[in-house]
Amino acid sequence: MTREIRRDPHLDTVVHIVADRQHRPNLPSTNCPFCVGGLEAPEPYEVRAFPNRWPALQPGYCEVVLYTPEHDATFASIGAHGIRRVVDLWTERTVALRALPDGEYVIVFENRGAEIGATISHPHGQIYAFDHVPSRQQRQLDARWSPELASGDREVLEYNGWKVWTEFASVHPVSLRIAPLEQVADLPSMTDAQRSDLAEVLARVFGAFDTLFDVPAPYMMWLNQSPRTSGNWPQAWFNIEIVSPWRATGVPRYIAAVEVASEEYFNPVDPADVAQRLRIALT
């Protein structure tokens, strides 16, 4: 047995057993497969999406997204213009993956840094299409999530109808949320202007984020969108989450046994302090 979806009979936790991924090869430090001429990018490109050779879900439902051909670039360094190309590709692939028979919920995400588990440093993200709405996104939909209008000292930025703030009850030392102030369900529903403004916000946020520590910090980013059957979810409100495990330069905040056991967390960093540091970096 190499693949099976299991649900814990007591806690209702969903686990994908993907034992075949244990045999993924360790990639060499040279000959990056994402650089132009490499295994996954044989031709010149600006942005590129392709099927993951080692999918966690069924083949065709997991893709890799390359942000830039520049190996040493970052999401911040490609600027708003480069990020807009990425946003457009995210949108295109969201539409395409939703069109698959089992493409009910599309999650765009990125893992940056070896501490997070990224095996290739070339700037890239991924997209998974699930055949169901994952439980975390389901809870957000059920709660009728909407942006915090009164985030106070946790507000980081407001720009052209977009808002950025640090989370009130953040599990991670750094936990940011980005959302439009007017409800929009997903990437395909956005206007051209909204996508451009989102790109500008992401450029500013990541520019500030990369100054939080002495070196670029590891992070995880993901996009919460409406399910494919968006007509059944009128409350869906697009948003982006960005979290980092670092509580200081090179010092991760580990999730301890009591936290896993109790599902109650102890964050040593005040979200308002993170917001203040980001606001200073943005000035």
Reported as a single tens digit per residue, the pLDDT across 128-172 is 999 999 999 999 999 999 999 878 999 999 999 999 999 999 999
Determine the pLDDT at residue 30: 75
What is the rounded average pLDDT of the residues 251-280?
Answer: 96
Q: How confident is the model at residue 225 (pLDDT cuts 50, 70, 90)?
A: very high
Alpha-carbon distances of 171 from 214, 253, 282, rounded to whole Å: 23, 10, 24
Determine the pLDDT at residue 232: 85
Beta strands 14-18 and 105-112, pairing class? unpaired
What is the rounded average pLDDT of the residues 65-79?
Answer: 97
As a three-state string, the secondary structure of the chain is CCEEEEECCCCCCEEEEEHHHHHCCCCCCCCCCCCCCECCECCCCCCEEEECCCCCCCCCCEEEEECCCCCCCCCCCCHHHHHHHHHHHHHHHHHHHHCCCCCCEEEEEEEECHHHCCCCCCCEEEEEEECCCCHHHHHHHHCCCCCCCCCHHHEEEEECCEEEEECCCCCCCEEEEEEECCCCCCHHHCCHHHHHHHHHHHHHHHHHHCCCCCCCCCEEEEEECCCCCHHHCCCCCCEEEEEECEEECCEECCCCHHHHHHCCCCCCCCHHHHHHHHHHHHC
Pick the CATH number of 33-282 from 3.40.50.300, 3.30.428.10, 2.30.42.10, 3.40.50.2020: 3.30.428.10
What is the rounded average pLDDT of the residues 85-110?
Answer: 98
Q: Is the pLDDT of residue 2 over 80?
A: no
User: 19 or 239: whose pLDDT is higher?
Assistant: 239
Q: Is the pLDDT of residue 28 over 90?
A: no
What is the rounded average pLDDT of the residues 22-45?
Answer: 84
Tokens of 58: 């069924």
Q: What pLDDT digit, counting tens, does each position of 190-199 carry?
A: 999 999 999 9
For the entire predicted model, the pTM comes to: 0.95
Beta strands 174-180 and 162-166, pairing class? antiparallel
Task: Enumerate the active-site residues.
Answer: 124
